[in-house]
Structure 1
Amino acid sequence: MLIYSSNLSLNYVGGEAISSSDYTSLGTVTEFKYGAEIGRVFRRNDKLHWLNNWGPGWGFLPNSQDALVFVDNHDNQRGHGAGGSNILTYKQPKEYKMAIAFMLAHPYGSPRVMSSFAFTNSDQGPPADGNAYIVSPKINNDDTCSNGWVCEHRWRQIYNMVGFRNAVKGTSINDWWSDGNQQIAFCRGRKGFIAFTNGGNIQRDFQTCLPPGIYCDVISGNLIGGKCSGKSVTVGNNGVGFISLNENEYDGVLAIHVNAKKL
């Protein structure tokens, strides 16, 4: 067992004599089952519909505060840790961003976002020059990285979902909706709304739970100078807004929150 900071890394996915719950008195425990299950769902090997009881209902630690959760980490993104072929990484960008958006939108656990370098084999080290010195990432105009670095934490869809999580802090899930298959949506109190499609188009009104106004979708763009660089959603006095999210779009998520309101 590797202990780092206040987190306990226990490679537990169920069935072993030692359980992750045996260590919760010592610190936050890495919930490896989380990445395995969320990867299985967003790879379409299960339905988004069944995420309605995400958390302990999926066999995770009973207390959300005990769980350190992640979609992938430095081990299992290379097949070295728990989760096997279910694990999503930057190499499946659309599904990966959707899974991270769900992790950051859902209140269960303390989330960790991966930031890594590109690799073609599981033993490959970081980008280096001819003298074996590690090279720095190049920061592109869209804030992403290159020069051998992935920097997932700099992807707009990911860092904006960190903003979503901060905006909805202290709220729980309400107004859950599902089509019974691969589409879901839910509110976080009166502070945020998010919708996902892993199959089929969404074109309908939703209760967004937000105050009236025009909100920027933080997945397709940013709020810049009081305007939306991506899609926007108009919310009426009753909290209802029309959501348009098609299966063939670059991202399968739409997210709005109180801090992304158009001026």
Structure 2
Amino acid sequence: MLRRRRLLPLALTAVLAAMLPLPLSAPAAAAPSGTKDVIVQLFEWNWPSVATECTNYLGPRGYGYVQVSPPQEHVRGQQWWVAYQPVSYRVESRKGTRAQFQSMVTTCHNAGVKVIVDAVVNHTTGVGSGTGWAGSTYTSYNYPGIYQTQDFHHCGRNGNDDIVNYGDRYEVQNCELVNLADLKTESDYVRTKLANYLNDLLSLGVDGFRWDASKHMPAADIAAIKGKLSRSVYHVQEVIYGAGEPVQPTEYTGNGDVHEFRYGKDLGRVFRHERLAYLKNFGEPWGHIATGKAAVFVDNHDTQREGGDILTYKDNGIYALANAFMLAWPYGSPTVMSSYEFTNKDQGPPSDANGKTNNATCFSGGWRCEHRWQVIANMVGFHNAVKGTTMVNWYDNGNNHIAFGRNGKGYLTINDEDGAVNGRSYQTNLPAGRYCDVIHGEKSGTTCTGPVITVDASGWFAANVAAHDAIAIHVNAKIS
């Protein structure tokens, strides 16, 4: 059954409208290598702002990793995608200097947050000539001291070497992605240059890499570059699924995690048009990759610009509910998006007249900071509290009211109906006691700034759930 999308959920309006930073008193989770595995993508934040956020918010709120945008020298311009066009591998960009990057990594580590770098290794700039952010010059297929024409693929297809047919493996992995000079990653010389760049970042303390455009490199090439790295770190690869295409995400799981792009599209479609009851087996039974290799998100910097069913910050309350589901559901490793406002898909981050990225000030100057929205931030604590448990006690009304537990550690119910659900009881499998509803409030010692949910000796509670709203409780939010 198709449903008409509603306006901002009324009960979440107060939570989202102010968009104020939350208190820093939430219970801290274990070390990042343990239960803190939620990644936040601070898209296009500059390095001093990332450092400050690690100290003041990410660490105290239980985020385990921060994914930062590409740090290498790139072409000049105001668009977001200039950061994905490397001119050299100097750590000097519109987001800051090498010294600022190093300081950021150290500061984040001191706050208990690990750093993942978005690594652009498939290609360099668009074919042409110019000068990079740090003053390095280049011409087509010639980057002095780094690469020359023999270090690139020249696939000889389609008149301009661009990929046209995604059903042709050769084109996908040997032709140019939208005119970007495609590196010959089967070459040991190129592999060594790329590994040197990644090792330089490792020397600065980086804890992992997001391999951009992985689909456009054979998995064996990525494995060979990984083999040249100085130490083992976390790896996640961008491989967009395409039905019937020859290059599939499962080819890359031997190298590390893989982004499951179907997750956000399917979740958005269900929340927008279908029934939440369908989510009972969300994940592998839907054809998604194995949970132990899946990196999932409601949206990222690419998908939020696609339109369609993808949910973004522009969807307000329904976006918060979808993120709450993701952080509560036992499938994959979740990434929370943190955006800036945009009105066209090419728009870059808030910047000065020279293109240097402005400091990120949450909820002003264009910075949306979804990772600080109360629902999303508090569900990170929920995720940390329930990690490693199975889903139990699923309930649905056959339509858009669902509930489920995480085996004695947490419980979430979402009512996405157009009317309230009143007086219903829920079986939680949680210890008896009084719990802070973290969708609407903050635990502070033995009190809660929002509603308190009482679980009885049999693990049940009764509550009213407003239309397009939710209730979430977990063991670390128990107040008595």
Residue number among 429, 437, 440 corresponding to 1:217 in the alignment: 437
1:27 Cα deviation (Å)?
Answer: 1.2
Aligned to 1:184: 402
Residue number among 461, 468, 474 corresponding to 1:241 in the alignment: 461
Structure with greater helix percent: 2
Q: In structure 2, how many angstroms separate the alpha carbons of the residues matched to 1:232 and 1:244?
A: 12
Residue number among 154, 162, 171 corresponding to 2:380 in the alignment: 162
SS for the counterpart of 1:6 is strand
Matched to 2:430, the amino acid is L
Q: RMSD of the alignment, in Å?
A: 1.5
SS for the counterpart of 1:118 is coil
Residue number among 425, 444, 450 corresponding to 1:230 in the alignment: 450
The answer to whether 1:119 aligns with 2:342 is: yes
SS for the counterpart of 1:148 is coil
Q: In structure 2, how many angstroms separate the alpha carbons of the residues matched to 1:13 and 1:197?
A: 32
Q: In structure 1, how many angstroms separate the alpha carbons of the residues matched to 2:431 and 2:337?
A: 33
Q: Is the 8 A contact 1:211 1:239 kept in 2?
A: yes
Matched to 2:406, the amino acid is R
5 Å-filtered alignment, 1:136-155, equals 136-139=359-362, 145-155=363-373
Aligned to 2:35: none
Q: In structure 2, how many angstroms separate the alpha carbons of the residues matched to 1:208 and 1:42?
A: 24
The answer to whether 1:259 aligns with 2:476 is: yes
SS for the counterpart of 1:100 is helix
5 Å-filtered alignment, 1:40-189, equals 40-43=269-272, 45-61=273-289, 63-79=290-306, 84-139=307-362, 145-189=363-407
1:262 Cα deviation (Å)?
Answer: 1.5
Q: In structure 2, how many angstroms separate the alpha carbons of the residues matched to 1:201 and 1:35?
A: 27
Unaligned regions of 5+ residues in structure 2, if any? Answer: 1-120, 123-210, 213-233
Q: 1:171 and 1:212, CA in 2 relative to 1: closer, same or farther beyond 3 A?
A: same
Aligned to 2:426: 206
Could you give the per-residue CA deviations for residues 148-197 of structure 1, whole angstroms, max 9, x where no partner exists?
A: 10111111111110100100111100000000100100000001000001
Q: Is the 8 A contact 1:13 1:32 kept in 2?
A: no
1:131 Cα deviation (Å)?
Answer: 4.2
1:12 Cα deviation (Å)?
Answer: 1.0
Matched to 1:247, the amino acid is A
Aligned to 1:142: none
Matched to 1:121, the amino acid is N
Matched to 2:475, the amino acid is V
1:13 Cα deviation (Å)?
Answer: 4.1
Residue number among 34, 43, 55 corresponding to 2:263 in the alignment: 34
Matched to 1:65, the amino acid is G
The answer to whether 1:10 aligns with 2:239 is: yes
Q: Is the 8 A contact 1:13 1:33 kept in 2?
A: no
Q: 1:13 and 1:262, CA in 2 relative to 1: closer, same or farther beyond 3 A?
A: farther
Q: In structure 1, how many angstroms separate the alpha carbons of the residues matched to 2:253 and 2:352?
A: 43
Between the two proteins, the alignment pairs up a number of residues equal to 249
SS for the counterpart of 1:73 is coil
Matched to 1:260, the amino acid is A
The answer to whether 1:196 aligns with 2:424 is: no
Rg larger in 1 or in 2? 2
SS for the counterpart of 2:338 is coil
TM-score for the superposition, normalised by structure 1? 0.90
Greater Cα offset, 45-54 or 127-136:
127-136
Q: In structure 2, how many angstroms separate the alpha carbons of the residues matched to 1:14 and 1:196?
A: 31
Could you give the per-residue CA deviations for residues 96-142 of structure 1, whole angstroms, max 9, x where no partner exists?
A: 11111111101100111101111111111111234433222224xxx
Q: In structure 2, how many angstroms separate the alpha carbons of the residues matched to 1:13 and 1:36?
A: 12
Q: In structure 2, how many angstroms separate the alpha carbons of the residues matched to 1:201 and 1:210?
A: 24
Q: Is the 8 A contact 1:194 1:253 kept in 2?
A: yes
Structure of greater relative contact order (alpha carbons < 8 Å, 6+ residues apart): 2
Same amino acid, percent of matched pairs: 48
Q: In structure 2, how many angstroms separate the alpha carbons of the residues matched to 1:164 and 1:41?
A: 23
Matched to 1:181, the amino acid is N
Matched to 2:276, the amino acid is L
Q: In structure 1, how many angstroms separate the alpha carbons of the residues matched to 2:254 and 2:351?
A: 41
1:71 Cα deviation (Å)?
Answer: 0.4
